[in-house]
Structure 1
Amino acid sequence: MSEKYSFKRELLTCLPGLRGFAISLIGNHDRADDLVQDTIVKAWSNKTKFEPGTNMKAWLFTILRNEFYSQMRKKGREVQDTDGAFTDSLSTHAAQQGSMDLRDFQKALGQLPDDQREAIVLVGASGLSYEEAAKICDCAVGTIKSRVNRAREKLKEILDVSGHQDYGPDAGASAVTKSPMAL
C-alpha cells in the first residue's frame, strides 16, 4: 500500500515541470493543462509498468512528449495560427516590461525548430540532465547538447542579445528595485 502512495507523491511533485514542458510545446495554457491531464491518466493507468527507483520525471516527460506528438498527428487537418496573428487579436497583454519580455521570449521560443525547442526546454527550463533529455528524445547525448547549443544561439539572435548586460531588469526596473522604498 505504501508503494501506491509513494508513486502518487512522486507523480505529484513532477506536475509543475510537466506543465511547463507542455506549455512550451503547445503555447496555450488550457491545452497544455489538458495534455498534462492526459499524461497523468496514462501514467496512472500504467503505474505497474513504472520501475520504482528509476527516474519518474523522465518517464512522465516521455509519456507527455509521446502524447503531444500523437495529438499533433491527429490534428493535422486543423487550421494553424503559426504567426500568432489570430491569437494576438483575441488577447490583451500587460503593459509591464517583464510581461513584454516574456512574450518576446515565448515568440522566439516558438520560432525554434521543434527538436531544438524540446531540447532547450527539457535541459534549460525543466532541469533535466543532457542524459535524461537524450533518453526522453530517444537520441544521443551529443545530439541533445548540439540542439541546446543551436537553440541558445538562435534565441540570442532572435532576441538580439549580445551579452549578460542584456539580461535582467531594464534601467527603470533596476532603479525601483534598488530604491530603499522597495525594500
Structure 2
Amino acid sequence: MGDIAAFREGLLEAIPSLRAFAVSLVKSSDRADDLVQETLVKAWDKQKSFQPGTNLKAWLFTILRNEFYSQMRKRGREVQDSDGVMTARLAIHPNQDSSLDLDDFKRALATLPEDQREAIVLIGASGFSYEEAAEICDCAVGTIKSRVSRARSRLQEILGVSGETEYGPDGISAQVTNSSAVA
C-alpha cells in the first residue's frame, strides 16, 4: 500500500512540471492539460513497470514526450475539416444493395443460353467491340448484335428491370449522395 501511495504522491508533485513542459510543446494550455492528463493515465496504468528508486519525474516526462509525438503523427495523417465540406464529399452509396443486385444478376446471367451469355460478357463486361467479339466467336457482327440484344432483353425480363433508372442506388440514396457531392 505504501508503494501505491508514494507513486500517487510522486505523480501529484510532478504535475506542475509536466504541465509546463506540455505547454512548451503544444503552445496551448487546453491541449497541454489534455496531454498531461493522458500522461498521468498512462503512468497510472503502467505503474508496475516503473522501477522504484529510479527517477519518477524523468519517467513521466518520457511518457509525456512519447504521447506528444504519437499525437503529432496521428494529426499528420488527419485532414482538417471543421466545416464538414470534405466529409460531405465522401458520401457513398450503401453497398449491401449493390451486392444483392450483383448476386441477382449473376444468377440471371447463368440462365442465359451459352451463346448469348458469351456475347453479352464480351461486349458488356470485357469491353470488346462488336467486331472484335464477332471475331472471337467466329461469327458475323450481326449475329453478335442479335445475341447481345436477346441477352439484354432476357436479363431485363428475369430481373424485372424496365430501364436504366432501375439500376444502381435507389432514388433516396442517389439524392443524398448527389446533394452532398454538390455541397
Q: TM-score, normalised by structure 1?
A: 0.45
Q: Which of structures 1 and 2 has the bigger CA Rg?
A: 2
